[in-house]
Amino acid sequence: MQVSMTVNDVEVTEEIEGRLLLVHFLRDVLGLTGTHWGCDTSNCGTCVVWLDGEPVKSCTVLAAMAGGHEVRTVEGLAKNGKLDPVQEGFIQCHGLQCGFCTPGMLMTARALLDRNPDPTEAEIREAISGQICRCTGYATIVRSVRWASVHEAGTEEVTA
């Protein structure tokens, strides 16, 4: 079957099998390997992308279901050659170690800040509660999101 969608502001049309998952479409058909594939069972959250602006686990969505919709992946987070503040936050606050969970964390964090520009630690932890990080213990991830929050707001210190 043929499927068309917008991925990171680019129209794409591809011939696919109806059973193809969105995560595999992005990685294997479009070559957007920034979206990681961790479990295939909706547990790890490393596959999170946006579907019409909403974070979704792309291993739970058929590529065909994304037809006619807008998808954004971690490759589409930076704008005009400038990293998104959440990406900067993860750099500044060491929000990653191996980096496997990072693409999903970044997409969820950006979506959170778009809805709630000043989230508490508890709100950040709730937002990423569907995602697993085996390395960081989450503290630096929370701190990274807070860093992005305060820098976007133009305020000072990160307290999380």
Q: Write down the least CB distance from residue 143 to ligand FES, Å.
A: 14
Q: Is 51 in the site for ligand FES (CB under 6 A)?
A: no
d(CA 86, CA 107): 9
Contact at 8 Å (CB) between 139 and 117? no
> Which residues touch 91 (CB under 8 Å, ≥6 apart)?
83
Count the site residues for ligand FES by CB under 6 A.
22
**DSSP characters for 2-24?**
EEEEEETTEEEEEE--TT-BHHH
Q: Which of 66, 154, 74, 82 is nearest to 118 (CA)?
A: 154
Nearer residue to ligand FES within complex by CB, 133 or 160: 133
Contact at 8 Å (CB) between 53 and 70? yes
Indicate which single residue of 71, 96, 142, 160 sits in contact with ligand FES (rule: CB under 6 A): 96
Name the token pair of 5.
């969608």
The phi and psi torsions of 5 (rounded to 5 degrees) equal -160, 170
Indicate which single residue of 6, 12, 100, 139 sits in contact with ligand FES (rule: CB under 6 A): 100
Q: Is 73 in the site for ligand FES (CB under 6 A)?
A: no
Q: Write down the least CB distance from residue 147 to ligand FES, Å.
A: 16
Nearer residue to ligand FES within complex by CB, 67 or 130: 130
Indicate which single residue of 7, 8, 30, 45 sits in contact with ligand FES (rule: CB under 6 A): 45
Point out which residues bind ligand FES (CB under 6 A): 37-40, 42-47, 57, 59, 96-101, 133-136
